[in-house]
Amino acid sequence: MELLIERIRKREARIGIIGLGYVGLPLLLHFGEKGFRVIGFDIDRQKVESLQGGKSYIKHVPSERVVALVDGGKLSVTTDFDRLTDPDCILICVPTPLTPQREPDMRYIINTAKSICKTLRPGQLVVLESTSYPGTTEELLLPLFEQKGFRVGEDFFLAFSPEREDPGNPKYNTGNIPKIVGGVTKKCLEVASELYGAITNQVVAVRSPKVAEFAKLLENIYRSVNIALVNEMKILAHKMGIDIWEVIDAAATKPFGFTPFYPGPGLGGHCIPIDPFYLAWKAREYNFTARFIELAGEINVSMPHYVLDRITEALNQRGKCLKNSSVLILGIAYKKDVDDDRESPAYPIMQILMNRGARVSYNDPHIPALRPTRKYHFRMKSTPLDKKTLRSFDAVVIITDHSAYDYRWIVENSQLIVDTRNATRGLDRYSYKIVKA
């Protein structure tokens, strides 16, 4: 343990990160920029070749950061998992999706753990960062690694430290977001805390991996439940003829006891639509029903259907039927100003519209073409925006409120706007053609 800690302090320890997506890539670069030699592992050969060529495939991660580390000899990337014997510290940042039955899909974690087990050597630290249910680290990873006859906390070290990446956030990043760490043993905690203390301002040490795993889920459940609440209030406010965004702005002036959350077309991203159900699934093992999680999920999953109802209603009021109407979706990314479309609510909305006979196109300045996802297989390119194009659509639906959009110009040149994000705030003179959803 002392040798590994000393190597970490001297920046001599080599860091390996498995999974080079929206979590793994920023983490890989941050370690490299803090003076560590880093090696990235991924099964996607295109990602590996892109990084080897000094190119980032994530919009908010500049290629210059990749080039600097590659040219400086600090970064190597590979699809060869036999090289997992090289790093002193291995961080797992692989996906943790849900099955169609909303149960944890642990294939990526299990397969990764098996790859590590083949090359695990004495003195290595392994940290799981992928969000999962409480018990994952000790129930899945630990038994696999102990099969080699190694003793945890003596021969190797194992911990959980949940990722807290917020793509596109200009204020918070890997270096200034406090890092929760839970080790299987005290020595595991000490080594993992030393590692993250070398790259972050604050390490929050907790008693066990289970506490750290639960903390991550609580963070996302808190947001999921509050978003569901405000989405439900949006529907009620609409029925009562009240602007929910004005209500939220008014309530937010209270200096205590209220945190504003804002409604939308549904949840997106890898975390909030998925992670809460990991805890709901695990809760059943203890004969416990996590009712808030389930109810919030039902409300949030229903929001695309509410948006569809508002589109249909708006078209009907203009003497048009949804079938054969042309609809332009503005924004595919799940949040503004990023190119991340994981679990985007735009996809179910588009699918429902097409199933109802509408002719659907989209525009997103950050996503020039749609890529296949686990659920959807759209094949289309972003439609360029100009006056003639906008006027040709029966309805323009704002799903993601990117800063690049000139909303006044868009509204001026559209027949009908359905706004799910309050992006048209202040354009009261055009209220006759704006529908909030």
Q: What is the pLDDT of residues 303-351, one digit of tens each?
A: 999 999 999 999 999 999 999 999 999 999 999 999 999 999 999 999 9
Tell me, which fold does domain 2-217 have in CATH?
Rossmann fold (3.40.50)
- Number of H helices and E strands in the chain, helices first, is 15, 13
> CA-CA distance, 132 to 216, in Å (whole number)?
9
Confirm whether pTM is higher than 0.95.
no
Q: How confident is the model at residue 1 (pLDDT cuts 50, 70, 90)?
A: confident
* β-bridge pairing 125-128 and 157-160: parallel
**H or E segment at 117?**
helix 107-119
Q: Judge if 2-217 and 239-436 fold alike in CATH terms.
A: yes
Query: What CATH architecture applies to the domain 239-436?
Result: 3-Layer(aba) Sandwich (3.40)
Q: How confident is the model at residue 197 (pLDDT cuts 50, 70, 90)?
A: very high
pLDDT value of residue 59: 87
Active site (annotated) includes residue 93: no
> CA-CA distance, 137 to 113, in Å (whole number)?
10
pLDDT value of residue 171: 87
- Side-by-side strand order, sheet with 14-18: 75-78, 37-41, 14-18, 89-92, 125-128, 157-160, 179-183, 203-206
Residue 415 CB neighbours (<10 A): 16
**Among residues 89, 93, 188, 271, which one is catalytic?**
271
pLDDT tens-digit series, residues 74-115:
999 999 999 999 999 999 999 999 988 889 999 999 999 999
**Maximum Cα interatomic distance, the chain, rounded to a whole number of Å:** 75
Average of per-residue pLDDT values in the chain: 95
Is residue 26's pLDDT more than 90? yes
pLDDT value of residue 433: 97
pLDDT tens-digit series, residues 349-379:
999 999 999 999 999 999 999 988 878 889 8
pLDDT value of residue 299: 95
Is residue 293's pLDDT more than 90? yes
Instruction: Domain ranges for the chain, please list them.
Output: 2-217, 239-436
